[in-house]
Amino acid sequence: MYDYGYGKEIRLYGIQDWLVSIYTYYKNQYRRLNQQIQNRHFIAAAVDILFTLVRETVVYVYLIFLFTGGQLTVDNFVLYTGIAASFAAVGVAFSGAVTDFADAVRNIEEYRQFLEQEDMGADAGGTLSAKAAYTVRFQNVSFRYPGSETYVLHNFSYQIEAGKHIAIVGLNGAGKSTLIKLLCGLYDQYDGLITIDDVDIRTLSQAERARIFAAVFQESKVLSATVLENITLSEQNTPEMMEKATEALKQIGLYERMMALPQQLETPVTRVIADNGVEFSGGERQKLMIARALYKNGSILILDEPTAALDPIAEQEIFDTFGEISAGKTALLISHRLSGTKQCDRVFVMDDGKITEAGTHTELMQAEHGIYRQMYETQAKHYN
């Protein structure tokens, strides 16, 4: 309801009444639920008041009966009525405290469950020696998403040598992006073993993983911060950090565009926080995310559909510079645009969670009935 990114579809397809009806339905559901809760509180309070009234009536009637019968003096009558009033006040306070405590327990239950969850990598102490590139090995890895019975990867095994540039291609749902998420440690509930230089990634701390990987995912998001902060991911930026960010922008071909902004690298991105923020196009956002990865300078560079939102010229510029920006690193490129695979040392073709073909672009094009050749020729025929 509050995301302006859906404005085009809402206006062009005329679905505002439908969305409002959905919003109204759930709003009414919330109101009914809230009313039920309030009614229960009211009933509980009424019962408590009634119980207190009956209790105090019985006590006071009994004391009056004793007083009129001459069994209590005036001072004792006053003493006992005061004690009864005090006990009543304590009882009401205790009952209210128990009710508030029960409500508080219910309200924080989800938070408690969150705190009790295992923090992936928090207690792991594994580290890797600082290197420009690492060897990655998958050994009989099988994985299915939580709640699903279908395996996305089946006994996946392969080794990527340090410093090699690998392209991973395949049809939608083949498991390409899932493979990358497992490598980055975003999921650790899988069968088999994934190692980096023979170290199980599940033994690496989160900080160590963050040091190793520089990734651009399909769903990477820009932050409501300045251009510079989106690249460095830091609020305190030194001149050295600015120079490094500038170099990343030049590598990706975005430097001149950023320098043309009103405040250059200090220009706010998006208008979520700053009214004078700049809304970038999809291609510019994607380039900015690539610049972020280049700035980080991780030893393993991962590009998951990095050119999906780019025009053909910008896309070719990225592919032409892929070898340069990933020089000396272990690099993985996932793309449906097969023109970029020529810059890679090897190409893996995935299908149904497994590698069905592997080789260089030239080698795979020689397989007459291969999936890679079929995909490549299908794309190429539209340009002939």
Determine the pLDDT at residue 26: 92
Closest CA to 143 of 131, 155, 135: 155
Gap between the Cα atoms of 347 and 165, Å rounded: 9
Find the mean pLDDT for residues 48-71.
Answer: 80
* 288: Cα separation from own chain's centroid: 19
Token duo for residue 199: 């170290």
Closest CA to 57 of 36, 88, 27, 79: 88
Over the chain, what is the mean pLDDT?
81
Q: What is the dihedral of CA 192, 198, 203, 204, to 10 degrees?
A: -120
Q: Does residue 123 have a pLDDT over 60?
A: no
User: How many alpha carbons fall within 13 Å on the CB side of residue 67?
Assistant: 15
Find the mean pLDDT for residues 298-321.
Answer: 75
Find the mean pLDDT for residues 142-167.
Answer: 85
User: How many alpha carbons fall within 13 Å on the CB side of residue 25?
Assistant: 6
> Tell me, what amino acid is at 162?
A
pLDDT tens figures, 176-234: 888 888 888 888 888 888 888 888 888 888 888 888 888 888 777 787 888 888 888 88
Number of CB atoms found within 10 A of residue 318's CB: 23
**Termini Cα distance of the chain:** 45
Gap between the Cα atoms of 275 and 284, Å rounded: 20
Q: Does residue 173 have a pLDDT over 80?
A: no
Gap between the Cα atoms of 10 and 13, Å rounded: 6
Gap between the Cα atoms of 319 and 106, Å rounded: 54
